[in-house]
């Protein structure tokens, strides 16, 4: 009962805190625009700098750092363990939060031992090449709606988005493809057999899944008729049949499934963690000490946050609250409505990060041949079929209602198939006897 009440309290406090965080970010971005105009610069300069600091350096980095603790706590809960509690301040473990400081001190103070036969320049460049692309992907993600404002007599717009560019999804594809260079360089430049084996595995896996990753989003581009993420989010505010939001989840359930699986493989997390399997080869970063390893390690959790943000923006309505949006728009001031929208988006991001932790500690690891078969023999044909079917349905009915109807049928079919596959299979009697014999009964 105590744990249940704690979970309920946590579920209430998280969205409220995200709304307050959104309000603070809007206020700080508006203040940065005011400061920029006071210095004679365009207000967009101040907004861009503030968004980089607040959204990318503060939110993304802080969330990624907290996920390192959250994953340990969640794995302990799944495995019925206590979890991280050995580091205490004044006798209080604070839920393991002090491990963040301990991890940072450990990385910064470790002896910097490097392979003697390494390629020096590429060896030093690899951690940054792996870290920077995953970090830069968040730049095109719209966190909240634009709010009109007047700063020093100049009418401007306060938007929680670092870069509002036309080729939004193309930017995502292009920058995401650069991450493979970091893993390949880390493996090759170390001049280690185990490291290069991990680098080759990572490169082949990431390059393979980029194909299905791109095709999975083509249907969303066709449905919303835009490459800009903010336009795709805005289009999800319309209603189908007057009551159902036009979310990507309803219009493109197959695209969501293919995208999420492919992006999960791109992050190289279990069950797709063959490039860094601890029980086999340790991975492409085996020769990296201290903070160099820390950058490679943190890049993985940044990818988790970015994947959650892009998924929320394209398939789950982005900053749309989904429920009671019309009532909120009518009864709240524009800035508070925008703050609620930003809080809704940040809450969706945290929930999708939690979903990735669940997958990480639930599914077993694939073999490498299974990973490649899943990509080329399952996901790629399904993604191609989804593109053709989506195009045909939009051609027949541009209002997206037919596409939404087919999407609902697909969701129901996937639910039925999942229930049928996961139902309990009766274990034969001799299997029980064999298990008892092994256990010594």
Confidence of residue 152 (pLDDT cuts 50, 70, 90): low
Question: What value does the mean pLDDT take over residues 25-54?
Answer: 91
Mean pLDDT of the chain: 88
Give the CA-trace dihedral at 399, 403, 406, 410, to 10 degrees.
Answer: -140
Looking at the predicted structure, is the pLDDT value of residue 230 above 70? Answer: yes
Confidence of residue 281 (pLDDT cuts 50, 70, 90): low
What is the residue extent of each domain of the chain?
Answer: 2-80+102-431
Spatial separation of the C-alpha atoms in residues 336 and 328, rounded to whole Å: 9
Residue pair 232/313 in contact by the 8 Å Cβ criterion: yes
pLDDT at 339 over 90: yes
CA distance 79 to 147: 46
More confident residue, 141 or 435: 141
pLDDT confidence tier of residue 383, bands split at 50, 70 and 90: very high
pLDDT digits 0-9 by tens, 156-206: 888 899 988 888 899 999 999 898 999 999 999 998 888 888 888 889 999
**pLDDT band, very low/low/confident/very high, at 153 (cuts 50, 70, 90):** low
Q: Among 41-50, 93-102, 233-242, 391-400, whose mean pLDDT is lowest?
A: 93-102
Q: How confident is the model at residue 241 (pLDDT cuts 50, 70, 90)?
A: very high
Of 253, 259, 257, 251, nearest to 235 by C-alpha is: 251
Q: What is the pLDDT of residue 11?
A: 84
- Tens of pLDDT along 309-329? 999 999 999 999 988 888 999
Q: How far is CA 248 from CA 217, 240, 383, 389, 393, in A?
A: 10, 12, 15, 15, 15
Predicted confidence at residue 434, as pLDDT, reads: 47
- Hunting for tokens 């923006």 — which residue is that? 313
Confidence of residue 225 (pLDDT cuts 50, 70, 90): very high
For position 438, what pLDDT does the model report? 46
Mean pLDDT of 31-53: 90
List pLDDT tens digits, range 390-437.
Answer: 999 999 999 999 999 999 999 999 999 988 887 754 545 544 544 444
Q: How confident is the model at residue 381 (pLDDT cuts 50, 70, 90)?
A: very high
Span 32-38, average pLDDT? 89
């Amino acid at each position: 009962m105590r744990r249940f009440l704690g979970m309920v309290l946590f579920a209430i406090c998280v969205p409220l805190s995200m709304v307050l965080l959104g309000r603070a970010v809007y206020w700080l971005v508006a203040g940065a625009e005011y400061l920029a105009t006071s210095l004679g610069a365009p207000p967009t300069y101040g907004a861009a700098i503030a968004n980089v600091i607040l959204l990318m350096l503060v939110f993304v980095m802080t969330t990624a750092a907290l996920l390192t603790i959250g994953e340990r706590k969640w794995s302990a809960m799944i495995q019925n363990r206590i979890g991280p509690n050995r580091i205490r301040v004044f006798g209080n473990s604070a839920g393991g939060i002090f491990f963040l400081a301990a991890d940072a001190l450990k990385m910064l103070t470790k002896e910097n031992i490097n392979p003697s036969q390494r390629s020096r320049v590429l060896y030093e460049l690899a951690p940054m090449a792996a870290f920077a692309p995953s970090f830069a992907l968040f730049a095109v993600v719209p966190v909240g709606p634009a709010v009109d404002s007047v700063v020093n007599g100049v009418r401007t717009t306060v938007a929680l988005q670092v870069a509002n560019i036309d080729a939004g999804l193309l930017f995502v594809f292009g920058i995401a493809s650069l991450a493979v260079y970091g893993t390949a360089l880390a493996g090759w430049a170390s001049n280690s057999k185990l490291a290069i084996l991990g680098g080759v595995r990572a490169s082949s896996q990431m390059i393979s899944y980029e194909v299905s990753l791109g095709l999975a989003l083509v249907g969303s581009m066709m449905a919303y008729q835009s490459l800009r993420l903010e336009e795709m989010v805005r289009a999800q505010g319309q209603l189908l049949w007057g009551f159902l939001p036009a979310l990507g989840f309803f219009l493109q359930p197959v695209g969501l499934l293919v995208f999420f699986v492919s992006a999960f493989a791109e992050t190289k997390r279990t069950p797709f963690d063959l490039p860094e399997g601890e029980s086999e080869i340790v991975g492409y970063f085996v020769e990296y000490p201290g903070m160099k390893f820390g950058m490679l390690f943190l890049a993985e959790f940044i990818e988790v946050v970015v994947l959650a943000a892009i998924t929320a923006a394209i398939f789950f309505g982005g900053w749309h609250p989904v429920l009671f949006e019309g009532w909120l728009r009518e009864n709240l001031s524009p800035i508070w409505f925008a703050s609620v929208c930003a809080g809704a988006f940040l809450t969706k991001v945290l929930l999708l990060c939690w979903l990735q932790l669940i997958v990480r500690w639930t599914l077993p690891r694939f073999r490498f041949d299974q990973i490649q078969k899943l990509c080329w023999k399952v996901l790629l044909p399904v993604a191609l079929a989804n593109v053709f079917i989506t195009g045909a349905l939009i051609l027949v009915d541009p209002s997206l209602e037919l596409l939404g109807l087919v999407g609902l049928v697909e969701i129901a079919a996937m639910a039925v198939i999942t229930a049928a596959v996961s139902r309990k299979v009766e274990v034969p009697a001799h299997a029980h006897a064999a298990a008892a014999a092994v256990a010594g009964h």
